[in-house]
Amino acid sequence: MAGLAENTERAGPRGRPQSIPPNAGVGLKADHYTTILEHKPDIGWFEIHAENYMGEGGPPHHYLERVRCDYPLSLHGVGLSIGSAGPLDREHLARLKTVSDRYQPGLFSEHLAWSTHDGRFMNDLLPVPYTAETLSRCADHIDLVQETLGRRMLLENPSTYVAFGDSTMSEIEFLNRLVGRTGCGLLLDVNNVYVSATNHGYSPETYLDEFPIDDVGEIHLGGHATDRDDDGAPLLIDAHDRAVDDRVWALYARLLVRTGPLPTLIEWDNEVPGWDELYRDARSADRLLAGCATGQRNVVAV
Protein backbone atom coordinates (compact mmCIF):
# COMPACT_ATOMS: atom_id res chain seq x y z
CA MET A 1 0.00 0.00 0.00
CA ALA A 2 1.37 3.39 -1.01
CA GLY A 3 3.00 5.73 1.45
CA LEU A 4 3.11 3.45 4.47
CA ALA A 5 6.00 3.48 6.87
CA GLU A 6 5.95 1.69 10.22
CA ASN A 7 6.94 3.48 13.48
CA THR A 8 7.41 6.93 11.96
CA GLU A 9 8.18 9.58 14.58
CA ARG A 10 5.60 12.34 14.43
CA ALA A 11 4.06 15.10 16.48
CA GLY A 12 4.50 15.26 20.20
CA PRO A 13 1.93 15.40 23.00
CA ARG A 14 -1.49 16.89 22.44
CA GLY A 15 -1.06 19.61 25.05
CA ARG A 16 0.38 22.20 22.67
CA PRO A 17 -0.23 23.12 19.02
CA GLN A 18 1.94 21.31 16.49
CA SER A 19 2.97 23.54 13.59
CA ILE A 20 1.83 22.44 10.15
CA PRO A 21 4.80 21.68 7.88
CA PRO A 22 4.98 23.10 4.32
CA ASN A 23 4.01 19.71 2.92
CA ALA A 24 0.88 18.09 1.56
CA GLY A 25 -1.88 16.98 3.90
CA VAL A 26 -5.22 15.26 3.39
CA GLY A 27 -8.58 15.29 5.06
CA LEU A 28 -8.99 12.73 7.83
CA LYS A 29 -11.77 10.32 6.81
CA ALA A 30 -13.32 7.48 8.77
CA ASP A 31 -12.69 5.10 5.86
CA HIS A 32 -8.95 5.55 6.39
CA TYR A 33 -8.70 5.41 10.20
CA THR A 34 -7.44 1.82 10.27
CA THR A 35 -4.83 2.33 7.55
CA ILE A 36 -3.50 5.46 9.21
CA LEU A 37 -3.27 4.01 12.70
CA GLU A 38 -1.83 0.65 11.68
CA HIS A 39 0.71 1.83 9.12
CA LYS A 40 1.58 5.44 9.97
CA PRO A 41 1.62 6.70 6.35
CA ASP A 42 4.25 9.26 5.38
CA ILE A 43 1.97 12.29 5.17
CA GLY A 44 2.64 15.77 6.51
CA TRP A 45 -0.62 16.45 8.38
CA PHE A 46 -4.37 15.91 8.47
CA GLU A 47 -7.27 18.32 8.24
CA ILE A 48 -10.41 17.73 10.28
CA HIS A 49 -13.81 19.39 9.90
CA ALA A 50 -14.68 20.89 13.26
CA GLU A 51 -18.36 20.03 13.04
CA ASN A 52 -17.57 16.29 12.85
CA TYR A 53 -16.03 16.41 16.33
CA MET A 54 -18.47 18.58 18.28
CA GLY A 55 -19.98 15.62 20.11
CA GLU A 56 -18.56 14.79 23.52
CA GLY A 57 -17.30 11.30 22.75
CA GLY A 58 -17.74 8.23 20.59
CA PRO A 59 -15.63 6.67 17.83
CA PRO A 60 -14.67 9.98 16.10
CA HIS A 61 -12.87 11.21 19.20
CA HIS A 62 -11.41 7.78 19.95
CA TYR A 63 -9.70 7.69 16.56
CA LEU A 64 -8.80 11.37 16.43
CA GLU A 65 -7.08 11.18 19.83
CA ARG A 66 -4.81 8.48 18.45
CA VAL A 67 -4.15 10.21 15.13
CA ARG A 68 -3.33 13.45 16.98
CA CYS A 69 -0.51 11.68 18.80
CA ASP A 70 1.27 11.04 15.48
CA TYR A 71 0.35 13.93 13.18
CA PRO A 72 -0.28 17.69 13.29
CA LEU A 73 -3.87 18.76 12.67
CA SER A 74 -5.45 21.64 10.80
CA LEU A 75 -8.98 22.51 11.95
CA HIS A 76 -11.41 23.60 9.23
CA GLY A 77 -14.84 24.97 10.06
CA VAL A 78 -17.83 24.94 7.71
CA GLY A 79 -20.65 26.21 9.94
CA LEU A 80 -19.72 29.56 11.48
CA SER A 81 -21.46 31.55 8.74
CA ILE A 82 -18.95 34.41 8.87
CA GLY A 83 -20.85 36.32 6.18
CA SER A 84 -24.27 36.00 7.79
CA ALA A 85 -26.40 39.14 8.14
CA GLY A 86 -27.29 38.07 11.67
CA PRO A 87 -25.11 37.43 14.72
CA LEU A 88 -22.89 34.39 15.01
CA ASP A 89 -24.30 31.35 16.78
CA ARG A 90 -22.63 31.60 20.21
CA GLU A 91 -23.39 27.96 21.04
CA HIS A 92 -21.73 26.79 17.84
CA LEU A 93 -18.76 29.03 18.56
CA ALA A 94 -18.48 27.56 22.06
CA ARG A 95 -18.47 24.03 20.65
CA LEU A 96 -15.80 25.08 18.16
CA LYS A 97 -13.66 26.41 21.00
CA THR A 98 -14.01 23.10 22.82
CA VAL A 99 -12.71 21.20 19.79
CA SER A 100 -9.90 23.71 19.28
CA ASP A 101 -8.82 23.58 22.93
CA ARG A 102 -9.00 19.80 23.02
CA TYR A 103 -6.89 19.10 19.93
CA GLN A 104 -4.70 22.21 19.69
CA PRO A 105 -4.55 22.37 15.87
CA GLY A 106 -1.64 24.04 14.13
CA LEU A 107 -4.01 26.01 11.88
CA PHE A 108 -7.67 27.01 11.98
CA SER A 109 -9.69 28.14 8.96
CA GLU A 110 -13.22 29.06 7.91
CA HIS A 111 -15.04 30.27 4.79
CA LEU A 112 -15.95 33.69 3.46
CA ALA A 113 -19.59 32.68 3.12
CA TRP A 114 -22.89 32.42 4.96
CA SER A 115 -25.03 29.37 5.66
CA THR A 116 -27.51 30.38 8.36
CA HIS A 117 -30.54 32.69 8.42
CA ASP A 118 -33.17 33.19 11.12
CA GLY A 119 -31.92 30.15 12.99
CA ARG A 120 -32.03 27.89 9.95
CA PHE A 121 -28.95 26.14 8.60
CA MET A 122 -28.59 25.70 4.82
CA ASN A 123 -26.35 22.92 3.58
CA ASP A 124 -24.36 25.23 1.34
CA LEU A 125 -21.73 27.97 1.52
CA LEU A 126 -23.37 31.03 -0.01
CA PRO A 127 -21.55 34.12 -1.33
CA VAL A 128 -21.63 37.65 0.04
CA PRO A 129 -21.72 41.02 -1.73
CA TYR A 130 -18.44 42.90 -1.51
CA THR A 131 -19.64 46.11 0.10
CA ALA A 132 -18.54 48.27 3.04
CA GLU A 133 -21.51 47.03 5.08
CA THR A 134 -20.61 43.37 4.51
CA LEU A 135 -16.97 44.12 5.23
CA SER A 136 -17.80 45.66 8.60
CA ARG A 137 -20.09 42.78 9.55
CA CYS A 138 -17.58 40.09 8.52
CA ALA A 139 -14.77 41.91 10.36
CA ASP A 140 -16.85 41.98 13.55
CA HIS A 141 -17.55 38.26 13.21
CA ILE A 142 -13.88 37.43 12.60
CA ASP A 143 -12.84 39.52 15.60
CA LEU A 144 -15.28 37.62 17.81
CA VAL A 145 -14.06 34.24 16.57
CA GLN A 146 -10.40 35.09 17.03
CA GLU A 147 -10.97 36.55 20.49
CA THR A 148 -13.02 33.52 21.55
CA LEU A 149 -10.58 30.92 20.26
CA GLY A 150 -7.47 32.86 21.18
CA ARG A 151 -5.93 32.13 17.80
CA ARG A 152 -5.65 33.55 14.30
CA MET A 153 -8.19 32.41 11.73
CA LEU A 154 -7.46 31.79 8.06
CA LEU A 155 -10.30 32.89 5.79
CA GLU A 156 -10.91 30.90 2.60
CA ASN A 157 -11.72 32.53 -0.74
CA PRO A 158 -15.07 31.24 -2.04
CA SER A 159 -16.15 29.40 -5.15
CA THR A 160 -19.02 31.41 -6.64
CA TYR A 161 -21.71 30.90 -9.26
CA VAL A 162 -23.39 34.31 -9.17
CA ALA A 163 -22.08 37.86 -8.78
CA PHE A 164 -23.80 40.64 -6.84
CA GLY A 165 -24.65 43.78 -8.75
CA ASP A 166 -24.27 45.93 -5.64
CA SER A 167 -20.65 44.91 -4.93
CA THR A 168 -18.44 48.00 -4.71
CA MET A 169 -15.03 46.29 -4.58
CA SER A 170 -13.30 43.23 -5.97
CA GLU A 171 -12.97 40.00 -4.04
CA ILE A 172 -9.25 40.56 -3.57
CA GLU A 173 -9.77 44.11 -2.29
CA PHE A 174 -12.42 42.78 0.10
CA LEU A 175 -10.06 40.10 1.44
CA ASN A 176 -7.22 42.60 1.75
CA ARG A 177 -9.37 44.94 3.81
CA LEU A 178 -10.55 42.12 6.06
CA VAL A 179 -6.95 41.12 6.76
CA GLY A 180 -6.04 44.74 7.50
CA ARG A 181 -8.95 45.24 9.89
CA THR A 182 -8.83 41.93 11.77
CA GLY A 183 -5.31 40.54 11.45
CA CYS A 184 -6.72 37.27 10.12
CA GLY A 185 -4.84 35.24 7.55
CA LEU A 186 -5.99 33.68 4.29
CA LEU A 187 -6.54 30.18 3.01
CA LEU A 188 -6.07 30.19 -0.76
CA ASP A 189 -8.18 27.54 -2.47
CA VAL A 190 -6.79 27.23 -6.00
CA ASN A 191 -9.70 25.13 -7.22
CA ASN A 192 -12.12 27.80 -5.99
CA VAL A 193 -10.18 30.36 -8.00
CA TYR A 194 -10.43 28.26 -11.14
CA VAL A 195 -14.14 27.52 -10.60
CA SER A 196 -15.05 31.17 -10.01
CA ALA A 197 -12.89 32.44 -12.86
CA THR A 198 -14.48 30.01 -15.30
CA ASN A 199 -18.01 30.77 -14.12
CA HIS A 200 -17.53 34.55 -14.30
CA GLY A 201 -15.23 34.79 -17.31
CA TYR A 202 -12.04 36.22 -15.85
CA SER A 203 -8.43 35.04 -15.76
CA PRO A 204 -7.47 32.77 -12.85
CA GLU A 205 -3.81 33.61 -13.51
CA THR A 206 -4.47 37.34 -13.07
CA TYR A 207 -6.43 36.67 -9.88
CA LEU A 208 -3.57 34.63 -8.41
CA ASP A 209 -0.99 37.20 -9.48
CA GLU A 210 -2.90 39.86 -7.52
CA PHE A 211 -3.64 37.72 -4.46
CA PRO A 212 -1.99 38.93 -1.19
CA ILE A 213 0.29 35.94 -0.76
CA ASP A 214 2.07 37.29 2.32
CA ASP A 215 -1.12 36.59 4.28
CA VAL A 216 -1.63 33.02 3.01
CA GLY A 217 -1.11 30.30 5.61
CA GLU A 218 -2.55 27.32 3.75
CA ILE A 219 -3.48 26.22 0.22
CA HIS A 220 -6.32 23.92 -0.85
CA LEU A 221 -6.50 21.79 -4.00
CA GLY A 222 -9.64 19.87 -4.94
CA GLY A 223 -11.72 18.51 -7.76
CA HIS A 224 -14.68 20.10 -9.53
CA ALA A 225 -17.61 18.88 -11.60
CA THR A 226 -18.41 20.31 -15.03
CA ASP A 227 -21.84 21.43 -16.23
CA ARG A 228 -23.49 24.05 -18.46
CA ASP A 229 -25.64 27.00 -17.47
CA ASP A 230 -28.97 27.91 -19.07
CA ASP A 231 -27.16 29.69 -21.91
CA GLY A 232 -24.86 26.76 -22.62
CA ALA A 233 -21.77 28.38 -21.12
CA PRO A 234 -19.36 26.27 -18.99
CA LEU A 235 -20.35 26.00 -15.34
CA LEU A 236 -18.01 24.45 -12.78
CA ILE A 237 -19.16 23.11 -9.42
CA ASP A 238 -16.81 22.88 -6.44
CA ALA A 239 -17.75 19.26 -5.78
CA HIS A 240 -14.75 17.82 -3.89
CA ASP A 241 -15.64 14.44 -5.37
CA ARG A 242 -12.79 13.70 -7.77
CA ALA A 243 -9.08 14.15 -8.42
CA VAL A 244 -7.51 17.58 -8.87
CA ASP A 245 -7.86 18.81 -12.46
CA ASP A 246 -4.70 19.25 -14.56
CA ARG A 247 -5.48 22.96 -15.02
CA VAL A 248 -5.66 23.42 -11.26
CA TRP A 249 -2.32 21.65 -10.89
CA ALA A 250 -0.85 24.08 -13.42
CA LEU A 251 -2.21 27.07 -11.50
CA TYR A 252 -0.81 25.66 -8.27
CA ALA A 253 2.66 25.20 -9.78
CA ARG A 254 2.51 28.77 -11.08
CA LEU A 255 1.42 30.06 -7.66
CA LEU A 256 4.29 28.33 -5.84
CA VAL A 257 6.77 30.42 -7.78
CA ARG A 258 5.40 33.40 -5.80
CA THR A 259 4.64 31.81 -2.46
CA GLY A 260 7.31 29.21 -1.93
CA PRO A 261 6.33 26.02 -0.05
CA LEU A 262 3.14 26.27 2.01
CA PRO A 263 0.95 23.63 3.71
CA THR A 264 -1.24 22.23 0.95
CA LEU A 265 -4.41 20.18 1.44
CA ILE A 266 -5.76 17.65 -1.04
CA GLU A 267 -9.46 18.22 -0.46
CA TRP A 268 -11.72 15.25 -1.21
CA ASP A 269 -14.99 15.18 0.77
CA ASN A 270 -17.45 13.28 -1.44
CA GLU A 271 -17.03 9.93 -3.23
CA VAL A 272 -13.89 9.55 -1.13
CA PRO A 273 -11.47 7.07 -2.76
CA GLY A 274 -9.26 4.46 -1.17
CA TRP A 275 -6.14 5.59 0.65
CA ASP A 276 -3.77 4.86 -2.26
CA GLU A 277 -5.50 7.26 -4.66
CA LEU A 278 -5.71 10.05 -2.11
CA TYR A 279 -2.07 9.54 -1.19
CA ARG A 280 -0.97 9.74 -4.85
CA ASP A 281 -2.45 13.24 -5.15
CA ALA A 282 -0.69 14.25 -1.93
CA ARG A 283 2.61 12.99 -3.30
CA SER A 284 2.03 14.99 -6.49
CA ALA A 285 1.69 18.13 -4.38
CA ASP A 286 4.78 17.17 -2.37
CA ARG A 287 6.85 16.87 -5.55
CA LEU A 288 5.86 20.38 -6.57
CA LEU A 289 6.57 21.69 -3.09
CA ALA A 290 9.97 20.03 -3.04
CA GLY A 291 10.82 21.41 -6.47
CA CYS A 292 9.74 24.86 -5.35
CA ALA A 293 11.93 24.66 -2.25
CA THR A 294 15.01 23.75 -4.33
CA GLY A 295 14.30 26.25 -7.10
CA GLN A 296 13.16 23.68 -9.67
CA ARG A 297 10.23 25.46 -11.29
CA ASN A 298 9.23 22.86 -13.86
CA VAL A 299 8.44 19.80 -11.75
CA VAL A 300 5.53 17.84 -13.24
CA ALA A 301 2.80 17.18 -10.72
CA VAL A 302 0.95 14.23 -12.23
pTM above 0.75, yes or no: yes
The DSSP result for 75-138, as a single string, is EE-S-S-TT-SS---HHHHHHHHHHHHHH--SEEEEESSEEEETTEEEEEEE----SHHHHHHH
Helix (H) or strand (E) holding 64: helix 59-68
In which band, very low, low, confident or very high, does the pLDDT at 2 lie, cut at 50, 70 and 90? low
7 located within any domain: no
CA-wise closest residue to 217 among 151, 300, 169: 151
Residue 6 resides in a domain: no
Check residues 282 and 114 and name the one with the higher pLDDT: 282
For residue 151, pLDDT beyond 60: yes
Average pLDDT of every residue of the chain = 88
The CATH number for 78's domain is 3.20.20.150
Question: Which range is most confident: 75-89, 117-131, 201-215?
Answer: 201-215
- Within a domain: 34: yes
Residue range 229-287, pLDDT digits in tens: 777 778 888 888 899 999 999 999 999 999 999 999 999 999 999 999 999 999 999 99
Compute and round to an integer the Cα radius of gyration of the chain: 19
Which residues neighbour 120 within 8 Å (Cβ) at sequence distance 6 or greater?
none
Question: Is 301 domain-assigned?
Answer: no
Q: Which domain holds residue 64?
A: 24-293
Residue 298 belongs to a domain: no
Residue 17 lies in a domain: no
Given a cut of 90, whether residue 5 has pLDDT beyond it is no
Residues 6+ apart with CB under 8 A from 125: 78, 111, 113, 114, 115, 158
Tell me if 141 is assigned to some domain.
yes
Q: pLDDT, tens digit, for every residue of 22-64? A: 999 999 999 999 999 999 999 999 999 999 999 988 999 999 9
Tally of domains in the chain: 1
* Residue 56 falls inside a structural domain: yes
